[in-house]
Amino acid sequence: MRYLFSCVVVFCAFSIAAFANPLSLEGHFSQGGLVTGQTSAGAKVSLNGKMVNVSPSGLFVFGFGRNAADTAVIEIILPDGSRVSRVLEIKQRKYRTQKINGLPKEMVTPSAKTLERIREEVRNIRKARSVFTMENHFKSGFIWPSKGRISGVYGSQRILNGQPRRPHLGVDIAAPSGSPVVAASSGRVTLAENDLYFTGGTIIIHHGHGLSTVYSHLSDLVVQKGDVVSRGDLIGKIGSTGRSTGPHLDWRVNWFQERLDPMLLVGPMLR
């Protein structure tokens, strides 16, 4: 764990603030990392050929998923039509894998009705993650939403009977049922559901520029869709709802559909 956090510090320090205007970038140039950028007002920005939303003041945000390639190209088109582009080197990470063999073959096959329910929930979650606004809530910074033992990390993958499962894309924080869960950053609640099939009591908070955080397996929700919350506000309580084997918070950070590593945003947990 100490090794992990020393890596985090190194990557925090690595920013391209040294670039003269019209492009300054700051954040983690790493798989799972979040980068915020500033360019000239009225400029357009693309990342790997895809347009990135830019606020009128020139602020923008992007992130790198678990398996992001080792380079990315950012291009700025200035209001006068001139272009500036940079190749970014993206740190490649090694993720924990855990092989478990000799498990009984039987698997739970959800019924048609359950499958239908899951599909609809997945659609709603994607919708809540797709929200884009120019709001700058994320500038309040990020804190741990709950304190406890880290029982699962970003990117890890289990291989059951030789079958790779979907990687885990959040941080799991184990804590007693009823422990408080707070908003990791200021924002607006875009989803608050008591009973989703996989994630049970679930809250999604939107922080602006496509950035959202997800809080799962909650026993109790104290906010509703549409509420505006400040960083540190109580939003719910730790539980074990949905598909969960014990009380914990599964905390995730997304940039649109890209899953980012929450730990890179908050650093070591002080308890």
**CA–CA dist 192, 271 (Å, integer):** 28
Spatial CB neighbours of 15, under 8 Å, sequence gap ≥ 6: 25, 26, 27
Name which of 188 and 248 has its Cβ closer to Zn ion: 248
- Coil vs helix vs strand at 230: coil
Regarding 261 and contact with Zn ion (CB under 5 A), the answer is no
Which range, of 31-39, 87-95, 144-152, 231-239, touches Zn ion by CB under 5 A? 144-152
Q: How many helices (H) and strands (E) does the chain have?
A: 3, 21
Q: What share of the chain is helix, strand, coil (3-state, %, to 5)?
A: 15, 40, 45
Smallest distance from Zn ion to CB 80, Å: 48
For residue 248 the two structure tokens come to: 């914990």
Locus of tokens 């506000």: 233
Q: Which of residues 16-75 bind Zn ion (CB under 5 A)?
A: none
Smallest distance from Zn ion to CB 86, Å: 35
My answer on whether omega of the bond before 22 falls inside 30° of 0, hence cis, is yes
Smallest distance from Zn ion to CB 23, Å: 36
**CA–CA dist 65, 257 (Å, integer):** 9
Q: Which of residues 202-221 bind Zn ion (CB under 5 A)?
A: none
Q: Give how many residues touch Zn ion by CB under 5 A.
A: 4
Smallest distance from Zn ion to CB 226, Å: 26
Q: Which of residues 226-245 bind Zn ion (CB under 5 A)?
A: none
Q: Which of residues 76-95 bind Zn ion (CB under 5 A)?
A: none
Which range, of 90-98, 134-142, 152-160, 180-188, touches Zn ion by CB under 5 A? 152-160
Q: Provide the residue count of the chain.
A: 271
Name which of 1 and 134 has its Cβ closer to Zn ion: 1
Per-residue burial over 142-161, b = 16 or more CB atoms within 10 Å of its CB, e = otherwise: bbbbbebeeebbbbeeeeee
For residue 140 the two structure tokens come to: 């309040």
Name which of 24 and 151 has its Cβ closer to Zn ion: 151
Report which residue's Cβ sits closest to Zn ion.
Answer: 250
Q: Which of residues 164-183 bind Zn ion (CB under 5 A)?
A: 170, 172
When binding is defined by CB under 5 A, the residue of 193, 250, 258, 261 that contacts Zn ion is 250
| Closest to 60 measured CA to CA, from 257, 210, 212 | 210
Name which of 121 and 172 has its Cβ closer to Zn ion: 172
Which range, of 45-53, 150-158, 177-185, 194-202, touches Zn ion by CB under 5 A? 150-158
Which range, of 46-54, 192-200, 221-229, 250-258, touches Zn ion by CB under 5 A? 250-258
Q: Residues interacting with Zn ion, by CB under 5 A?
A: 152, 170, 172, 250
